[in-house]
Chains A and B, each alone.
Chain A
Amino acid sequence: MTGELAFGGWSGVLIMVVYGLIMLAIGLVTYFKNKNIRESNQEYYLGGRGLGVMVLFFTFYATQYSGNTIIGYAPQGYRIGFEWLQSITFMILVMVGYLLFAPRLYVLSRKFNFITPSDWLAKRFRSKSITILGSLLMLYGLGNYLLEQLVAVGQGVSGLTGGTVPYQLCVIFFIVIMLIYSWLGGMRSVAYTDTMQGIALLFGVFILVIGSIIYFGGLPSTADYMAAFTPDKLGVPETSGIVGWFSMLVLVLIGASIYPHAIQRIFSAKSEKTLKNSLIGMAWMPFVTTGVILLVGIIGISAFPDLGEMESEKLVGMMANAIASENIFFYWAMILLFGGIIAAIISTADSVLLTFSSVISKDLYGRYINPKATEHKQIFVGKITGIIATGVLLIIAWYPPATLYEIFVLKFELLVQIAPAFILGLYWKQLHSKSVFVGMLVGTILATAMTFANITPFGIFSGLWGLFVNLIICVIGSLLFNISKVEEKETDKVIGL
């Protein structure tokens, strides 16, 4: 069944072209409506801080739920079974993570006009080393995230079209479209296209699960199959799996909520009410997104038994192809799913790319390399480096280094190291900046070394060990070394709400 091609060819090309043209049209309209968009960082990177509830919600949604959510999570459900229910919990925990800092950070972002997450670090610690190291860690996390999306486009397209539309052509086509509309309209274009893409993603996910239930049988029949052949995927996971589950949840709770591109969306909210309503909506989305994707992966266990690890990565494409060959309705529905998957990937990639550019242009170039540069020039530098970074990642994406899930875990390891500075800094006035820097640096080195050496004591991810040591250095250092009166006064001006 996997070798048969149910669709692809001209219908695949058609959906790609139509989709690309719609995205370009949104970019063009945004550009003509807001011609001065590229003269100011606030306009370009935050959409003038004017995103309303619906646009903010969908840009949060499309940003948080990436191509990996569809293409990578279904195979993970396939491989480990019901243990992957954790994908629902951890998407919810991201929202718990927001509660740790979003209310205060939103207020401060308004008070001090933050554009990037590093603006917060710079304002709070007034330390070049913390701001630069924090920015580099964010760039690593963002670069990794972007790479993940490029790999997802490749695997998604090759799985869905059986290679009819060449992998390379698709990847380049969508990158060019994304670069053009981001270039034209900045955050406004990204947020508006995210709205359309978020709707496409939701639609695609539901069509896929309905098709899977109709043509491969629902959960009860799959459960019977699992009970007979793979009971380990049905039963309560073994203790080792459970420790990994806990550590994954903690890692995501802290790591995913401080995604730099998600934080920038907090800054972009039109008002506090807008932000609150969008976050409430987001708290319920895991059930209708990762929950539904898990069903697809579980149904795949009986529909396509015994797939190897790399083979199972193409599960969604295989299922979509099989469903599409059943009748004309599902043929077209799967073509739309194809659009939904691309939407999920591109909408995350565009948000990541925009934040990546903003960190380069504002935090590194504008703050340290050429402080006299106009905002127009900063934005231009951000765009050029964004294109170069995309090119480099594209070369890496040609030969994906690991499964999507492994790439996904890797990016958290380093990103979480900014959490103590980011979150503790909001509340603890005695936080000692040198200790924060040393903690961040030691945590980063430790997490990197442990990741490369593949050391995970007690099944706990290396990023968490790094974070643990990082936190201890931060806290003990702050208790041992007092901050000066002047520093205390300055800190009070920033966080004394």
Chain B
Amino acid sequence: MKFIKEPIKNGKLWIVFGVLFLLSVPWYLPEGSYKPLILGIPYWGWIVLLVSLAFSATITYAIKYLWITEGDDSNYKEDE
């Protein structure tokens, strides 16, 4: 079975992951700040949540479109 596309070999994907990783921890925001609070969650919490959503979306994209082998059976209907 040969790889047509393999996630680990896609440089852009890992750059995106790297940027998201750095953004996922609020080191770039003023220590101790929490205002505005939106629905009881501090503003920086929302930023971390949005970055996490972007992470999940990128993973989904990578699995769907960057992980393709010769033997990939995604063209066939799941037989279960």
Contacts and interface: CB of A to CB of B under 8 A. Distances in A.
Interface of A: 52-53, 82, 85-86, 88-89, 92-93, 95-96, 99-101, 103-104, 107, 110-111, 218-223, 227, 231-232, 234-239, 242, 245-246, 249, 270-274, 276-277, 279-280, 283-284, 286-287, 291, 427, 497
Given A111-B1, A283-B56, A220 B40 contact: yes
Identify the 8 closest CB pairs spanning chains A and B, nearest first.
Answer: A219-B40, A52-B80, A235-B32, A220-B40, A223-B40, A283-B59, A234-B34, A235-B34
B78 A276 contact: no
Interface string B38-73: 011110110011011101100110111001010111
A333 B37 CA distance: 31
Contacts, number: 149
A107 B55 contact: no
A283 B60 contact: yes
From A99, A246, A276, residue with most partner B Cβ within 10 Å: A99
Nearest to A82: B45
Contact of B41 (A110, A223, A272, A287): A223
A383 B69 CA distance: 37
Given A283-B59, A497-B2, 19 more contacts: A85-B49, A86-B48, A88-B49, A89-B25, A89-B48, A92-B56, A99-B7, A107-B1, A219-B40, A231-B32, A235-B32, A236-B32, A237-B31, A239-B27, A271-B78, A272-B72, A273-B72, A273-B73, A287-B56
A242 to B, nearest CB: 5
Interface of B: 1-3, 6-8, 17, 21, 24-27, 29-34, 37, 39-42, 44-45, 48-49, 51-53, 55-56, 59-60, 62-64, 67, 69, 71-74, 76, 78, 80
16 contacts: A53-B78, A85-B45, A85-B48, A85-B49, A89-B55, A95-B59, A96-B17, A103-B6, A104-B6, A227-B34, A227-B37, A235-B34, A238-B32, A242-B26, A273-B78, A274-B78
Contacts of A242: 25-27
A497 B52 contact: no
B21 A221 contact: no
Nearest to B72: A272
Contacts of A99: 7-8, 59, 62-63, 67
Contacts of A85: 45, 48-49, 52
B56 A236 contact: no
From A234, A242, A274, residue with most partner B Cβ within 10 Å: A234
B4 to A, nearest CB: 11
Contacts of A223: 37, 40-42
Contacts of A52: 78, 80
A238 B62 contact: no
A99 B64 CA distance: 12
Nearest to A286: B52
Contacts of A89: 24-25, 48, 51-52, 55
Contacts of A104: 3, 6, 8
Contacts of A237: 26, 31
B26 A103 contact: no
B3 A497 contact: yes
B63 A276 contact: yes
